[in-house]
């Protein structure tokens, strides 16, 4: 039994640092300092409308998840019959439309900024993967509507899926399987990758614009020949 005398000397600090919880805490604090995780100042070049589409995408995703949770709680007999159910079902659809609308503009903006510069390759790649998984989540959503539209789409999709060989494990005619993919697996993956994407943006900062007549310097940063400029 040890007695805490209140004396925080070096020895206990060393003992603490060997624990995995402490190592994780130190790694998290080192990777994401609080002032970098929730900054109150941003670089001047961020004062452009093109930078708002990332957060608009995140807000749309939040609405997709919130309305999806309401639909899951109430069930298809509610969203197909009641006027409130129709409204929430429509909110779910239109928040998905907004999600893809803003995400594609965000993608265009980041593509033309070459947003993978300055050691931001993983940020770019996580965004691309999030986009592709979101497409899968949306397609399984079409199959989960429980109406003639979803029946038509599933019978049209089955041949395409079977031609890839994936039909053996991913059967678009299996409603239960598609519903589980849509409301459990794919949302978890999208939320995790989107969260990782946002954390990477916080860690590496927002990509600076190309400097005029400074192509050589940008190329040097992109190839790692010189360190990238840290955001303010």
Partner 1 sequence: MFLGALLGALINLNGSGRYIHWGFIQISVANFVVIVLMVVVFVLAILLPFPKRKRGGQ
Binding stretches for partner 1 (CB under 8 A):
47-50, 52-53, 97, 101, 104-105, 108-109
CB of 60 to partner 1, least distance (A): 14
Distance (Å, whole) CA 110 – CA 129: 15
CB 182 within 8 A of CB 134: no
CB of 111 to partner 1, least distance (A): 11
Q: Residue 155 in 3-state DSSP?
A: helix
When the beta carbons of 141 and 187 are compared against partner 1, the nearer one is: 141
Q: Which residue in the block uniquely carries the two structure tokens 């400074």? A: 214
Q: Spell out the alpha helix ranges (H) of the chain.
A: 10-17, 20-31, 34-37, 53-74, 76-79, 83-112, 121-143, 148-164, 175-180, 186-204, 215-222
CB of 99 to partner 1, least distance (A): 13
When the beta carbons of 14 and 41 are compared against partner 1, the nearer one is: 41
When the beta carbons of 56 and 196 are compared against partner 1, the nearer one is: 56
CB of 53 to partner 1, least distance (A): 7
């Amino acid at each position: 039994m040890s007695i805490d005398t209140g004396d925080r000397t070096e020895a206990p600090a060393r003992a603490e640092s060997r624990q995995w919880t402490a190592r994780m805490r130190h790694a998290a604090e080192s990777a994401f300092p609080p002032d970098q995780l929730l900054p109150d100042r941003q670089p001047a070049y961020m004062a452009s409308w093109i930078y708002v589409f990332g957060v608009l995408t995140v807000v749309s995703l939040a609405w997709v998840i919130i309305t999806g949770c309401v639909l899951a709680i109430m069930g298809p007999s509610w969203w197909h019959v009641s006027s409130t159910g129709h409204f929430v079902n429509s909110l779910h659809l239109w928040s998905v439309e907004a999600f893809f609308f803003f995400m594609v503009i965000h993608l265009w903006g980041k593509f033309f900024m070459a947003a993978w510069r300055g050691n931001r390759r993983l940020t770019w790649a996580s965004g691309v993967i999030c986009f592709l998984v979101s497409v899968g989540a949306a397609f399984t959503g079409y199959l989960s509507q429980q109406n003639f539209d979803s029946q038509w789409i599933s019978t049209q999709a089955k041949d395409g899926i079977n031609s890839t060989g994936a039909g053996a494990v991913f059967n678009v005619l299996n409603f239960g399987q598609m519903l589980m993919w849509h409301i459990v697996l794919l949302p978890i993956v999208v939320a995790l990758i989107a969260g990782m994407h946002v954390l990477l943006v916080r860690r590496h900062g927002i990509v600076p614009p190309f400097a005029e007549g400074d192509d050589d310097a940008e190329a040097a940063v992109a190839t790692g020949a010189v360190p990238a400029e840290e955001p303010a």
